[in-house]
Amino acid sequence: MQHIDTMNTERRVPVEPDFWLLIFGDLTVFSVMFIAFMLRRFESAETHTVFSMGAESLNQPIGLTNTLILLTSSYAVVLALSHYRSGDLRRMIRSIGIAIVCGVGFISLKIVEYMEKINQGITVTEDRFFELYFTFTGIHLLHVVIGISLLTFVAYRAFVKKQDAFSTPGFIEGVACYWHMIDLLWLMLFSLFYLLG
Amino acid sequence: MIKPNSKRQCSMVFCALVLITLGVASLTEVTLLPMFAKHGVLECILITLAAVKIMLIAEYFMELHDAPRWLRGTMLTWVATTTVVLVGIVGINSQIY
């Protein structure tokens, strides 16, 4: 694989530089959301109580499991990229498969959690905490779905087209970075919604 | 060849991330620190630890430790700004509530 040889040990930008605009744009949007969450939490004594009670009513074991699942999937993507660089596409596909399974597991647990709340009569209109909870985690969930689609596309191309699947490593690195971004955003969401209560 | 993160290095980072996550989760379960929680210290610790995990992922999984300064700097600025603002809001308001 010729492109591997063209890489060097100089300081380099992982992924295409333009892609980082997308990443930082997304991160900035989430930053605003995190800050909005915190400001609302301390809006009044009443909202502070509502947020604390809301956090305590969330299913912490599911939140923790989902965090560990996403961390594992990120690690699998790191391994996939490493296998790609060493030219071992079979192992790369296997690692991406593990990441996809983790992603699907994350979505499944999130749906279980949503259903649990909906069955308790708690929806997005319940109070300010759950308004933000459903909105923020819903937006994050959408990112996970997009990430799984991208990972599936990478695995499919590698499986079908073998060595000619990708002319440059940029796309695979981009998908990997996108998946890691999903992971790091969840780490903050987990802290804010599940732990701060 | 590119200077990738070694698998060993990434495995260690992954283990560190898992341990911090489990540690943080158990920290909130244990009520040994009600005094800290009352003053928002525990909340600040939780946010800071989340930021540490985010930086570990950015540096080692996203391979920013070998990236140019502008890219590392931008990521560090994002993490630091978000963390400082969140901790600041907690710090100011935990005196009130």
CB contact under 8 A, B68 and A13: yes
Q: How confident is the model at residue A8 (pLDDT cuts 50, 70, 90)?
A: very low
Return the structure tokens found at B27: 């920290």
Query: Does residue B63 sit in helix, strand or coil?
Result: coil
pTM for this entry: 0.88
B1 pLDDT above the threshold of 50: no
For the beta carbon of residue A125, count every other beta carbon within 10 angstroms.
Answer: 8
Q: How confident is the model at residue A95 (pLDDT cuts 50, 70, 90)?
A: very high
**Calpha distance A99→A179 (Å, rounded):** 9
| Cβ-contact A31, B89 below 8 angstroms | no
Measured between CB atoms, does A53 come within 8 Å of chain B?
Answer: no
In chain A, domain spans:
17-21+60-196
Return the structure tokens found at A163: 């060595």
A1 pLDDT above the threshold of 70: no
Measured between CB atoms, does B9 come within 8 Å of chain A?
Answer: no
**Calpha distance A102→A109 (Å, rounded):** 10
**Calpha distance A173→A20 (Å, rounded):** 11
CB contact under 8 A, B21 and A64: yes
State pLDDT tens for residues B40-68: 788 888 999 999 999 999 999 998 988 88
Q: Is B13 exposed, middle or buried (0-12, 13-18, 19+ CB in 10 A)?
A: buried
Measured between CB atoms, does A163 come within 8 Å of chain B?
Answer: no
Q: Which amino acid is at A4?
A: I
B32 pLDDT above the threshold of 60: no
| Cβ-contact A186, A67 below 8 angstroms | yes
Q: How confident is the model at residue A138 (pLDDT cuts 50, 70, 90)?
A: very high
Q: Which CATH class is domain A17-21+60-196?
A: mainly alpha
A132 pLDDT above the threshold of 60: yes
State pLDDT tens for residues A159-184: 887 666 666 778 888 999 999 999 99
Closest CA to A71 of A105, A115, A94: A105
- B residues 18..77 contacting A (CB < 8 A): 18, 21-22, 24-25, 28, 43, 46-47, 49-51, 53-54, 57-58, 61-64, 66-68, 71, 74
In chain B, domain spans:
7-96
State pLDDT tens for residues A141-154: 999 999 999 999 99
